[in-house]
A and B are shown apart, each in its own frame.
Chain A
Amino acid sequence: MSTQLALSDLDLPRRNGELAFDAPWQSTVFALAAAVIEHAFGGDREPFRQQLIAAIAAQPGRPYWESWTAALEALVQALP
């Protein structure tokens, strides 16, 4: 349960010794989900949460933010 940090990460902000995001694409996909939830679902987080649950269940060992990406892809496909 430890986090390996590359030297290049050392100037990034962190809390309690852990980075909020390990790479720019992670913060991007996090914010993209927030944008879709806010602007396409009127702030209702539940549809995304259900996709995230399904994405994690489909591949439990997959890195978290990759499951997040898969969940957002599935949610976006279902947009009218």
Chain B
Amino acid sequence: MTESAHHPAPLSPVEQRVAALQTLLTERGLVPEGFIEEITRQYESEIGPMNGAKVVARAWVDPGYKQRLQADGTAAIAELGIGGPEGHHMVVVENTAGVHNVIVCTLCSCYPWPVLGLPPAWYKDPPYRARMVREPRALLAEMGCLLPEDVEIRVWDSSAEVRYLVLPPRPRGTESRTEAELAALVTRDSMIGVARL
């Protein structure tokens, strides 16, 4: 806790609780030197939606890959060197002209970390978790994702094991784009299913 030496401002109650946890767990030998810094660095710079975007772009340009992705998401994602906690049972759901998929975790905040990173704040908040199941069309519209009435909405509730990734359709007019250029078009929200490309 060298930080506190430089910032004498008192810790808030929750900061005190976290500091107590850190002391206790370090004393028990459960927190190796540098572990917190390394995990933080990974989730702030390496693990994020740019990984999922690579998966989506590969599926767009390689029909064989797309087939493998839909047959066994975890294995196909691992082909690109992507995997880890919260990604051991990945299921990829494809958006089509008639079906729009969206992911949610109704009980807590389950989310496919290896391909999307940590979830955005709104994904973890009660309104999203409750309303995406109860009234997905209305909530999607409020989030700017307007779907025609004849498009079926499928809501996937992340369970203990399964983590979902939405595969959005390749935008029109991108035939000449390279795989890397395509990956740059893919947004996090399109892979959660709260936006279209």
Contact = CB atoms under 8 A, between A and B. Distances in A.
Contact of B40 (A21, A39, A45): A21
A19 B118 CA distance: 10
Interface residues of B, number: 45
B36 A32 contact: yes
Given A31-B35, A35-B30, A60-B126, A25 B15 contact: yes
B126 A61 contact: yes
B90 interface: no
Q: For chain B, what secondary structure do more than half of its interface residues adopt (helix, strand, loop), or is it mixed?
A: helix
Contacts of B118: 20-21, 30
B8 interface: no
- Of the listed residues A35, A52, A53, A65, the one surrounded by the most CB atoms of chain B closer than 10 A to its CB is A35
A34 B41 CA distance: 13
B109 A20 contact: no
Given A32-B25, A52-B108, A64-B109, A27 B36 contact: yes
Interface of A: 1, 3, 12-13, 15-16, 18, 20-21, 24-25, 27-32, 34-37, 39-40, 43, 45-46, 49, 52-53, 56-57, 60-61, 64-66, 69, 72-73, 76, 79
Given A34-B35, A57-B107, 15 more contacts: A18-B120, A21-B118, A24-B3, A27-B40, A28-B18, A29-B21, A30-B118, A32-B18, A35-B30, A36-B30, A37-B85, A39-B30, A43-B85, A45-B86, A76-B21
- 4 closest cross-chain pairs (CB), A and B: A31-B39, A31-B36, A27-B40, A1-B122
